[in-house]
Structure 1
Amino acid sequence: MVYNRLDQLVLSQDANQRAGNQWTVTKYDAQGRVIVTGLWNAGSAINLATLQSSIYAAVQWDTRDYTNTTATNPTGYVISSYPQLSTVLKINYYDDYTFPAKPSTVTTPSGASTNTTGLLTATVTGVLNSSDMLWTAHYYDDFGRLTQSYAQHYLGGVSSPYNYDVVTNTYDFTDFVNELVSVTRLHYGKITTNTAAVLNATITNTYVYDHIGHKKQTLESINGGANILLSQNNYNEIGQLMVKQLHSTSNGSSFLQNTSYTYNERGWLLKINDPTVAPSSTQLFAEQLQYNNVTAVPNISPTPQYNGNIASQTWWAMTNPVTTAAKSYTYSYDNLNRLTGGISTDNFTETGINYDLNGNITKLNRYMGSSTTALDQLTYTYNGTNQVQSINDAAVDNSLYGYRPGTYSGYQYDPNGNMKVLPTPPNGSAVANINIQYNLLNLPWNITGGKTITYTYDADGEKLRRVSPNTGSTDYINGIQYDQGVGATVPAISFIQTEEGKAVPDGAGGYNYTYYLGDQLGNTRLTFDTKTGVAVMSQQDDYYPFGYEISRGTVTNPKNEYLYNKKELQEELQQYDYGARFYDPVIATWTTIDPSAERYFALSPYNYVADNPIKLIDPDGNDIINPQHMVLSNTMLIRKMHQFDLAVARISGRNIHSYKFIITGGDRYKKNGDIYSATNNNIIRKAARHSRHLQEEGAIAVDLSTIKGIDDDVLKAAAAETGFRFNPDGADYDDGHFHIDLDINHKSGKRSKYASEYLDDDDDIDKDHKPTDEELNKNVIAEQQILKEALSGNTSMTEALFGQIMDDWYRFMIRVKQQNQENQKILDELKRKLMTRIIIKTNVKL
């Protein structure tokens, strides 16, 4: 990577590019905004010193040129910085709507604001492996809200002024709530050789919110047809979704599907409907999860899990023929929370799962249905790398499922770590001896092996098109999917994605709505259609623990391919496309390196969701998250630590922001390996964001990490003021390390009667307390009065008091944000205004 004098990244080169002396280039304007990205073919290797010198010697930013629209430089910018571009990938325009060579169908809507300084007004994005460019234009109102956008698409693999969408947004602004209330999309497409835009679909979505800002209803109308109430959501007092109702043609007086949700006192999901009640046409799927409070499921006794891991999962789904028998999985984990087995009551089991120290799977056994013979008995070889070199399947099963028996040692990778050769396809695959070529974004674009599959992407990595000899071509247009089957002459809309499933053409000019019902991970478990006026199951899907699809029953055509994590299954490869990369559930690994690998340095970059696919997901191949957004906190302990922080500040005379205490020991790490900070209640924010959990037997060890110089006398005095027992082991520390006693005997592990003072309860430190705002911020009312007096000039305010009040108010805002995330921007703006007023009125210097 090479930077300019302004510390802006100008040149970058990966291992694949290095072989061809190619660089990725980024250009900036005088405001530091990215204006152009592209490629530079250097022709030969250039050393870093030479590149750095050339960049420093040239101008550091580029300027707009409103007259330059020539074919040799149609970017609308004068590119004077080093180096010149060989290929343009993307152009950004800001501030106005004067840009060159825009399509004839781009028109400024009536009422669009001309006060757009600082706003992104248009982008031109290249189609990889072609010379085509696609335009997007953005129009705003006077409040800077996006009111209309124009976006070209790539239907039929053609960049045409007649292939585009126009999306219009309407907002409501009442009581400080800025809500998007409707979106209308006009979808134009050049299906034949027409010379004018043809309107293929008009889609209008309308949204209704409750008094807090939760989205309560979503309605949709296609081509002026009936306004279908897709979903209606009901929430409890703390913002948890309690009931979701699907598909109403009667404005909400009746629905075809009703789904209820039950949570425990920690906010963990316990039930989706009730699997002890027989399925019906209005409740087609149900699921129950067990954590620490477990009861036996048929033939299996789950092991309690106290840290948020799921001990067992029981579900039923309406099937054809109808059966009311529930199915179950019980799960086991190692000491690093990695899944070691998932045992199914009907023997669709993955067990004997072992890992190396980086989290790479080394062994996996898979069974199928009533057969006692293993479907797969996989042993992986890595040869000192994170890249699988060979896999041996010792199973003798020769079915059309799973991995192929035998040893396959031809796995190969390109210099960027992309799996370019798969020595064997999965059983039943139409492709053999698979070779994969990747584009500059490390996305597969050409797959060969008996048959050839090609993918087309734009420079942002958006998948535009797929061509396969088995299925023909598929065009992906922001939720509208076209298919042109083998032998067909033109593409036709296959479906339009909705928030809850998809709308499928009914053959008579209208659309039939199909819905997906999911589990705790968002996996599609049951698909139902509505064309008869009753919810009818059309497809039911179950999965092995690592996502391999379990074959069950009959599927009504066309098959829904959006399955595990609601990602599209690539049938020929039996892999899921997550967006940033592909996942192979047969061998339970990614096929390319994690784009965010630097944040998960303790894990193999091919590792799937930290080896815990029952609790965690990776929505797009970039980040691991907990879809339940669990908050496992110890509120009383956090409050005690915050009081200790403030006491240290008062006694030492230091600014509370100049030092940082870090809780160590026990389970103290985020998923990226960082240790939680206790100062200024960061632990609250990080526990909510990363869903991790404090647990400790004995004392809390604390490191004073940022600075030295706060000695034991200060720490002891602060501990005494706060009510902590300091250094229970009797040791004195002068190196910024000390202990705070939890009144728990280290040897016996028994808690004393005093533990409840700063633990959530005296049984287990990981019990979650849900405090009210008043409990969490007991000083807010008094501080409100202080603020009012300070703002009115009736009292003075010290810097220390200001810091304390703002810290408490920030805690209050974090609490509100957790309950009402739609209003985060509004709360942040209120906080900014509050701080500005305080600084002006009280002359507090920060």
Structure 2
Amino acid sequence: MKKIIIPIGMLITQSVFAQLTSTENYIQSKTYLEAVTTTSTTARQIETVQYFDGLGRPKQIVNVKASPLGRDVATKIEYDGFGRQTIDYLPVPQSGTQNGAIIPDPLANAANTPYGSEKIYSEKILESSPLSRIQQQIQVGNDWAAKPVKFQYEVNTIGEVKKFVATTSWLNGEIQSQLNPATDPDSENGNYKAGQLYKNVVTDEDENKTIEFKNGRGQTILVRKVLSATENADTYYVYNEYDQLAFVIPPLASVSGFPDLSTLDKLCYQYHYDGRNRLVEKKLPGKGWEYMVYDKTDRLILTQDANLKLQNKWIITKYDQLGRVAYTGFLTTGGGRVGRQNEINNLVIAEERSTTGFTRNGMTVYYTDTYFVGEVQTILSVNYYDTYPQGSPAANNQFSEALLTDNMAQPRNTKGLPLASYVKNIEDDNWTKTFTWYDTRGRAIETHSINHLGGYTRTESKLHFAGVAQNTVTRHLRRVGEPEVTVKERFNYDSQNRLLKHYHQVDYWPEQLLVENSYNELSQLKNKVVGGNLQSIDYAYNIRGWMTDINPAQMSLPDLGGKLFTYKIKYNQKNGTTNPDQAQFPGKNVKPMYNGNIVEVDWRAVESLGANPPLEPKRYSYAYDGLNRLTAGYYQNPSNPWSKEHTEVMDYDLNGNITKLYRTSAMNGTTAMVIDELVYNYGPPTSLGNRLLDVKDNRNNKAGYEGGGNTIAYDPNGNMTDMLDKQITSIGYNFLNLPRTLNIGYDPVTTQIKTNYRTDGVKLRKENTTNSSGVAGVSWTKEITDYLDGFQYLNKTSSGGAVEMLSRETRFALEQQAFSVADRIVIPPVDGDGGIVKNPHNPELQFFPTAEGFYDYQKKMYIYQYKDHLGNVRVSFGKNSSGAFEITDANDYYPFGMNHLKTGNAFFGVGSYKNHKYNGKELQETGMYDYGARMYMADLGRWSVVDPLAETSRRWSPYTYAYNNSVRFIDPDGMQNKDWVERGSQIFYDASVKSQADATAAYGENAKHLGEGSTVTSVTNGQADGEFQYTLHNNGTVTDAGGNVIDNTQDIEVRDKTIFSNCSDCLNPGTLNKNLFGLTYPGGDNPKTYGGDWSYQYSPLLQSEYPAIGHDKRYDNLGTEGAMGLFTDTRAIGADYKFVAQELKIALNPFNGAISTDKKAAGMLGVGLGIAAAPKTIFKLATDGNAFYNIYQDYKTSNKGVSNTPKK
């Protein structure tokens, strides 16, 4: 509904500001950052003035005193002779402030800003036709002026596109499709005849082509990525007669002709639907079939994957009466999908809150148990809304804030808010309970989490008037009887709520100035000082907003000017080798890139105090293929750039599976040697799959990948169940496909690693037990690591002796040549009675994270970290309790993440913060990195299990890492590699978008790709209004101007855009009460799904809300939104007046049963939006000779597949 709320709010709000000018049309808005009772010019505030021309079009936006120096920031908006906005200017900081007055020449000061002499506008070259389609899109920056993204609009030719047909049959209560070659009259030799498909060609800045073919219904038939002049990567989409997507045929399956049944099962996506168009069965490549069961309201109730089917289990989700998830569990009585569906076809599975509840797994659940009585023996999670459950703790309320209560008699209460969440351990019946308290503005200010050991983590926040945190206090206790840890933080902001200082205090130790930030006039982070004055870190960016340097001025200084790390990222400039050996690596040449791929990185680092690094920087140069896959990372030794040390070179199949990997290293000071020459086997040519079956190392070198060529086994869900090359003899998984047990080695020395998780996938504990048998008997060591809300504990026990943190067999699985052991621990022996002589320091709290690294609790030492653009930890440092400066860890990485061998100062130790390395993830004893949802094998460059979000990237193998472009992308949690897209007023991330060409192919010509480091400067979300710069990262996170990762459970609302949140629980009905007139339909912005798509699943309560669904969907189809869409986008005229007509029909019809308040709301919405859309309509009619025809055509485009039905 926000698409409607924003403009109508403008119409019905009276101005209370002093008049700026009598000669200009404008809208002035102020958002106060501190409480005021009257209009104020001195209070901290966000002030924006938008000026309009005589046709009601925006022509200039002035952000008053918005720069760090308190100067205005102005954005010029201009149009061509046809009223089209073909040039988009970057906002320009001014030399002073005009207090909101229009600026005669807003571009005049550009040369005096960080832009310098750069070209500060992007261009669209439009075709000379009424369609105004984009032919070229030219980005900002001088270097991009001759590197446009090009668009072509064609139709298919003979033999260009294969035609597949899905024939359907009704079987077992579902529509099943069978794939067949086309033989109909509209095909020719199994291909589409010429002219039957629309063909759109997008050529990116580096001449990489993406070709999309669509049929007349707008369905994508084929997406073709051009790899070379002779090879394409084709992904086909096949629909059945009901227009349901039945098959997706990825490139490796489509290249060999018509896929047989084996190819379908191993490589393709297959979907079955029921008679109500609901997806009921699906099969992903490498996995068994998955099943889904729905209730009468189309809500997903039961799910089952291949492993659960073998166990005769279903996961059940029960909802409350408002459609919110009440609790989940295991339905253990089995049954087939058809039978289960028939049971609940006519039922609405909704449970109610109960004062008595029922008990399962040691927990009382305060809901009814009306459906599947006696069949749900295991409860996995419980959620409480509106009122706190019995036994809830009281709020501590240290900051004496007024809190919302669950007393429904009070005008302000917790109705609609999530209040408590209980999550069970997978391996036992212990629970984690989390409670949330809110202030009277509905903002979460206190959480209390009771962990499975009986301890707690309580966090309280004191929020500023605008919602930013001024102070936070976190109190943590592992279990009763142990000392509590207290962490206090406070924050200072500038006049626009940019973070300036972040203070941090642990227990009663002195407070530490963790970081102090400063910004350039574009609000980009320019410098941060960490640890007081421990290190001052400078940052630089190019015109695209991409980070280019860390400490650039120190790169040429022998001692780095006292700094520890300097780093340079090059995109379209190349200084190093093109190819160290053309004969060995033909065609894998390094060249300047303009589409966001990184060409080179240079760095110098101090790895040990007193030892200056070589004056010439270390360097990696990168080569790519036509699919933007990294084909080579050539390392250049400062003293011998042709030595090919630490080089990785890769080959791929069409799905992105690595087929060959060549890796070199310089070990023990020797010259470069080949340590890996790997050949990956995915099956015989006639039966290829994505599962890696074995790896042959032609070098037989134990360094790097261990080799051995042993067969790799998998379970039905596609999880790797052993890796004998690493002596990992078995891996067992829980129902979340996370490793539960892992066994390494053979007698006489074996290691078992047990990992316990909560049912939401959070890791709680890891037990590493090594047994060694010999003539003296059996000895053992056990290391238990507890993970509790970021606080990490380590408990070590042993049968006696001096024990290194890594056993011999675990070291074999790790990569022992890359790391030094962090510590050597002497563990007391077992006493004569068989009991353990406990070390008084165990169990120990080892460390916990801070915004700039970690806090080493044992050494009472703040650990700060230099990280590169991917979040890879390069240098860790700090000042110990005696005041001495220390470098604690230093790392260099191969392109796919394996540590360089023998860098000298890279450490590994169980339970140590030093294990957080590549992408900032924790390195395991197995040599794999734990990303949360999956384990990553850096030595092989792939995952060990199928991507849980594989369907978002169907053209890729579900085992590939970061689209095989690991120097540009990371996978933040093991589920998705993300990059950002701007479409109209929407900013969101999409796993399949890696370039402008991808963005255009996926979202149309008006979509804009926003890569790593792209920035958005504007007003932040409803929780924290303030002038901010936000930096978008391709790991799916957003950081504020201080470099802090912001709360990803809230959208960021900016002046004319919304950056969509990235959390799966954003479908939160608790936000429904924020809508206009108290309407319950949330509309296009709230709630939303993971990844920024809008959800229309909520059923409105009032008739006047239904037209909003269709209106928002039509805006979706046009890629427009909000005030800009309503006031200026003439394509939306038809959509607007369709909404007006539907609302007025409700308001004026005396027989429709609508209540009076509903009719009034419909009337206000209809009339208000009609008035708002009138100026652009008048302009369209006056300037377009074919206005009525074009309005109708635009309406047809917007109306495709649209209804007011509350389901997307």
Cα distance change of structure 1 residues 668 and 311 upon mapping to structure 2, 3 Å threshold: closer
1:48-63 correspondence runs (5 A): 48=338, 50-63=339-352
Verify: 1:390 aligned to 2:694, yes or no: yes
Query: Is contact 2:740–2:755 with CA below 8 Å preserved after alignment?
Result: yes
Of the three residues 429, 445, 459, the one matched with 1:167 is: 459
**Cα distance in 2, alignment partners of residues 78 and 153 from structure 1:** 25
Supply the AA of the counterpart residue of 1:806: A
Give the aligned partner of residue 553 of structure 1. Answer: 904
Find the counterpart in structure 2 of residue 504 from structure 1: 856
1:260 aligns with 2:538: yes
Mapped pair 1:78 → 2:368: yes
Counterpart pick for 2:473 among 164, 179, 184: 184
Could you tell me how far apart the structure 2 residues matched to 1:495 and 1:281 are? 30
1:356 partner letter: D
Q: Which moved more, 1:377-386 or 1:532-541?
A: 532-541
Q: Return closer, same or farther for 1:556/1:351 CA change in 2, 3 Å cut-off.
A: closer
Offset at residue 456 of structure 1 (A) = 0.8
Residue correspondence of structure 1 range 332-411 to structure 2 within 5 A: 332-346=623-637, 347-369=644-666, 370-383=670-683, 384-398=688-702, 401-408=703-710, 410-411=711-712
**1:319: how far off?**
2.2
Structure 1 position 62, deviation (Å) = 0.8
Q: 1:213, CA displacement in angstroms?
A: 2.9
- The C-alpha deviation readout for 1:776-831, integer Å capped at 9, x for no partner, is xxxxxxxxxxxxxxxxxxxxxxx99xx9992268999xxxxxxxxxxxxxxxxxxx
Q: Aligned partners of 1:335 and 1:299: how far apart in 2?
A: 17
Any residues of structure 2 matched to 1:829-844 within 5 Å, and which?
841=1168, 844=1171
Q: CA deviation at 1:133?
A: 1.6
CA drift of 1:165 comes to 1.5
Partner of 1:568: 922
Match of 2:501 among 217, 221, 234: 217
- What are the residue-to-residue correspondences of 1:292-371 with 2, within 5 Å? 292-296=572-576, 302-320=590-608, 322-325=611-614, 326-346=617-637, 347-369=644-666, 370-371=670-671
Q: Provide the residue aligned with 2:160 in structure 1.
A: none
Task: Name the aligned partner's letter for residue 577 of structure 1.
Answer: D
Q: What is the CA distance between 1:219 and its match in structure 2?
A: 1.1
Moved more, 204-213 or 266-275: 204-213
Structure 1 pair 460–297 and aligned structure 2 pair: CA distance change class (3 A): same
Q: Deviations over 1:650-706 (max 9, x none)?
A: xxxxxxxxxxxxxxxx976538x952223xx4x14xx237999xxxxxxxxxxxxxx
1:537 corresponds to 2:887: yes
Partners of 1:178 and 1:105 in 2: CA distance: 23
Q: Secondary structure at the match of 1:135?
A: strand
8 Å contact kept, 2:502–2:516: yes
Q: Note if contact 2:721-2:732 (Cα within 8 Å) is conserved in structure 1.
A: yes
- The yes-or-no answer on 1:807 pairing with 2:1124 is yes
CA distance in 1, matches of 2:844, 2:394: 22
- Distance of aligned partners of 1:477 and 1:276 in 2 relative to their CA distance in 1, 3 Å threshold: same
| Equivalent position SS for 1:464 | strand
CA separation in 2, counterparts of 1:287 and 1:810? Answer: 46
Alignment of 1:476-487 (within 5 A): 476-487=787-798
The match for 1:518 is 867
Shift of 1:189: 2.7
Q: Distance in 1 between matches of 2:317 and 2:854?
A: 38
Query: SS of the residue aligned with 1:17?
Result: helix
1:537 maps to amino acid? I
Cα displacement (A) at 1:66: 0.8
Task: Tell me what 2:427 maps to.
Answer: 129
Distance 1:78 1:603 in 2: 44
Give, in angstroms, the shift of residue 395 of structure 1.
Answer: 0.8
Shift of 1:445: 1.2
1:609 aligns with 962
Judged with a 3 Å threshold, the aligned counterparts in structure 2 of structure 1 residues 69 and 19 are, in CA distance, closer, same or farther, namely closer
Taking structure 1 as the reference length, the TM-score comes to 0.71
CA distance in 1, matches of 2:712, 2:354: 50
Q: Return the alpha-carbon distance in structure 2 between the equivalents of residues 14 and 140 of structure 1.
A: 38
Note the 1:286-297 alignment, pairs <5 A. Answer: 286-296=566-576
Tell me the residue number matched to 1:618. Answer: 971
Give the match's secondary structure for 2:977.
coil
Cα 1:312/1:423, change in 2 over 3 Å: same
- Residues 590 and 622 in structure 2, CA contact (< 8 A), matched pair in contact too: yes
SS in 2 for 1:75: strand
Q: 1:139 aligned to 423, 431, 437, which one?
A: 437
Which AA in structure 2 matches 1:442? N
Map 1:710-725; keep pairs closer than 5 Å: none
Question: Structure 1's 299 and 3: CA in aligned 2 closer, same or farther, altered over 3 A?
Answer: closer
Q: CA deviation at 1:232?
A: 1.6
What SS does the corresponding residue of 2:915 show, helix, strand or coil? Answer: coil
Tell me the CA shift for residue 843 of structure 1: 5.4
Q: Is 1:24 matched with 2:322?
A: no
Q: Distance in 1 between matches of 2:499 and 2:579?
A: 42
Mean CA deviation greater in 365-374 or 291-300: 291-300
User: Could you state the TM-score of these two structures normalised by the residue count of structure 2?
Assistant: 0.50
Alpha-carbon displacement from aligned partner over 1:309-348 (angstroms, at most 9, x marks no partner):
1111110000236133121111111111111111112344
Alpha carbons of structure 1 residues 281 and 124: separation in structure 2 relative to 1, 3 Å: farther
Q: Residue 907 of structure 2 contacts residue 915 of structure 2 at CA under 8 Å; is this kept in 1?
A: no
Q: CA deviation at 1:226?
A: 1.6
1:462 deviates by 0.4
* Equivalent-residue separation in structure 2 for 1:190 and 1:265 (angstroms): 52
Q: For residues 230 and 264 of structure 1, what CA distance do their matches in structure 2 show?
A: 27
- SS of the equivalent of 1:539 reads strand
Checking the alignment, whether the CA contact within 8 Å between 1:528 and 1:538 is kept in structure 2 is yes
- Aligned pair in 2 of structure 1 residues 343, 244: CA closer, same or farther (>3 Å)? same
Q: Contact (CA 8 Å) 1:273, 1:287: kept in 2 or not?
A: yes
Q: Is the 8 A contact 1:281 1:534 kept in 2?
A: no
Quote the Cα distance in structure 2 between the aligned partners of 1:122 and 1:460: 15
Q: Which residue of the partner structure matches residue 670 of structure 1?
A: 998
Alignment of structure 1 residues 233-252 onto 2, 5 Å:
233-248=517-532
Unaligned runs of 5+ in 2: 1-291, 406-412, 581-588, 638-643, 745-749, 771-781, 799-826, 828-837, 986-993, 1015-1054, 1057-1110, 1115-1119, 1130-1161, 1174-1208
Identity %: 31
Q: Is 1:492 aligned with 2:832?
A: no
Whole-Å separation in 2 of the counterparts to 1:525 and 1:805: 43
**Partner Cα distance (1:500, 1:276) in 2:** 26
Matched, 1:688 2:688: no
Bigger shift: 465-474 or 259-268? Answer: 465-474
Letter in 1 for 2:847: F
CA distance in 1, matches of 2:875, 2:505: 24
Which residue of structure 2 lines up, in the alignment, with residue 41 of structure 1? 332
TM-aligned CA deviation for residue 845 of structure 1: 9.1
Instruction: Give the Å deviation of 1:190.
Output: 2.2
Q: After superposition, give the CA deviation of every residue in 1:536-572 in whole Å (9 maximum; x if it has no partner).
A: 32211000110001131145786611000000000x2
For the residue of structure 2 that corresponds to 1:421, the secondary structure is coil
Q: What amino acid maps onto 2:720 in structure 1?
A: M
- Partner SS for 1:675: helix
Letter in 1 for 2:353: R
CA 1:385–1:71 in structure 2 vs 1: closer, same or farther (change >3 Å)? closer
When residues 106 and 91 of structure 1 are mapped into structure 2, their CA distance, relative to the original with a 3 A threshold, is farther
Pair 1:438 & 2:733 matched: yes
1:54 and 1:82 in contact (8 A); partners too: no
Residue pair 1:279, 1:316 contacting (<8 A) in 2 also: no
* Structure 1 pair 493–68 and aligned structure 2 pair: CA distance change class (3 A): same
